[in-house]
Amino acid sequence: MSQLPPIYVTQPYLPPLDEFIPYLREIWDKKILTNAGPFHARFEKALCEYLEVEHVALFANGTIGLVTALQALRVTGEVITTPYSFVATAHSLLWNGNKPVFVDIEPHSLTLDAAKIEAAITSETTAILAVHCYGHPCDVDAIQKIADNYNLRVIYDAAHAFGVRHGSDSLLTHGDLSVLSFHATKVFNTFEGGAIVCPTAKIKLRIDQLKNFGFVDETTVVAAGINGKMAEVNAALGLLQLKHIHHALARREAIDARYREALRGVAGIRCIDAGPPGEANHAYFPILVGADYPLSRDALYDKMRAQGVNPRRYFYPLISSFPMYRTLPSAHPANLPVATAMAQEILCLPIYPDLADEQVDRVVALIASR
């Protein structure tokens, strides 16, 4: 076992504590802790400006955001989705009473393969729930074209896609709604938190009602809403985190470049394209451990862990292999050959703003050594 301190796949980014104290003092002075308080309003406004989007509705976490997005669009029946994601993506469908229909992913981006969507559409299909996996954009134009042809809703699980650009626009403006996660492990965190990016004030209003038990005013409840509200302490942290996001993204970009350069000559290791410079957020650093690498993916994973380096096999096992999904016809591995193969080869290497260059080199040395 290595004597060096362990390295984890990620570490939350936190601003200096001294900078947060005045925010806490303001909360203590005002004694407004939640229910759309002043920090909530300020954070929503600042987030819209930073992300260059029209409206956002803040949430307690991304999962409640996903369920609420489905509710807000009144999604029923079957929903086409990816097996290659964090389990919350498909779980949100079960919580909304939908039947997930799994469609395979593209080998280069590991996002939903738009070319395979049409074959999975039935008379029961009402929506597509796609994931910008690792922050890599889905083929948003192809997905929208199919949705328009078949009158389907499009929801993006953008839990990994904070700040990602698509050409000159925010990636988050695509589809009917995009759902962000501000969980501790994400590029941008509010400890726990999330948001729905909304195209109009009308849909934001409905979402704001749904996340507040369905209340529209003091005495009127119009829907079986839930408690999805973000608390003031989380909103205040978000406001402060926005001041540091440029540094956090720049450091991620530098680490990404260092890994790519160092791993270029390592036979059997393929780095996945992060997207054009200036558009990506480098939320993860996924590599594929191919058959021409001397060890299997799991043997490399074990070897690294034995030396105190903790990569993660996101996303293995596939969502479609979990007990609540595996009996669905679309969950059969024969229907998902690319996702099945990728889940066997994937390894996400440590990446976070406070990861030092020497630590990146230590990770690379373990992969490059025979």
Ligand X SMILES: Cc1ncc(COP(=O)(O)O)c(C=O)c1O
Catalog residues that contact ligand X under the rule CB under 6 A.
61-63, 85-86, 88-89, 131, 157, 159-160, 181, 183, 194
Which C-beta is closer to ligand X: that of 259 or that of 314?
Answer: 314
**Least Cβ distance, residue 302 to ligand X (angstroms):** 24
Which C-beta is closer to ligand X: that of 58 or that of 269?
Answer: 58
**Least Cβ distance, residue 294 to ligand X (angstroms):** 31
**Least Cβ distance, residue 354 to ligand X (angstroms):** 20
Which C-beta is closer to ligand X: that of 37 or that of 194?
Answer: 194
Q: How many other CB atoms are found less than 10 A from the CB of residue 305?
A: 14
> Phi and psi dihedrals of 167, rounded to 5?
65, -130
Residue whose C-alpha is closest to residue 164's, from 184, 185, 140: 140
**What is the C-alpha to C-alpha distance for residues 8 and 140, in angstroms, rounded to an integer?**
32
**Least Cβ distance, residue 136 to ligand X (angstroms):** 12
**Least Cβ distance, residue 30 to ligand X (angstroms):** 26
**What is the C-alpha to C-alpha distance for residues 325 and 189, in angstroms, rounded to an integer?**
30
Cβ-contact 81, 94 below 8 angstroms = no
Q: Which element (helix H / strand E) includes 57? A: strand 55-59
**What is the C-alpha to C-alpha distance for residues 210 and 276, in angstroms, rounded to an integer?**
37
**What is the C-alpha to C-alpha distance for residues 315 and 115, in angstroms, rounded to an integer?**
22
Four-CA torsion 234, 71, 102, 270, nearest 10 degrees:
-20
Q: Take residue 320 and report the two structure tokens written for it.
A: 């479609």
**Least Cβ distance, residue 185 to ligand X (angstroms):** 7
**Least Cβ distance, residue 261 to ligand X (angstroms):** 27
Write out the DSSP string of 24-45. HHHHHHHT--SSS-HHHHHHHH
**What is the C-alpha to C-alpha distance for residues 128 and 151, in angstroms, rounded to an integer?**
11
Which C-beta is closer to ligand X: that of 94 or that of 221?
Answer: 94
Write out the DSSP string of 186-254. SSS-SSS-EEEEESSHHHHHHHHHHTBTTEEETTEE-S---B-PPPHHHHHHHHHHHHHHHHHHHHHHH
**Least Cβ distance, residue 213 to ligand X (angstroms):** 19
Which C-beta is closer to ligand X: that of 131 or that of 364?
Answer: 131
Which C-beta is closer to ligand X: that of 180 or that of 360?
Answer: 180
**What is the C-alpha to C-alpha distance for residues 56 and 196, in angstroms, rounded to an integer?**
6
**What is the C-alpha to C-alpha distance for residues 305 and 82, in angstroms, rounded to an integer?**
29
Q: Take residue 354 and report the two structure tokens written for it.
A: 């406070």
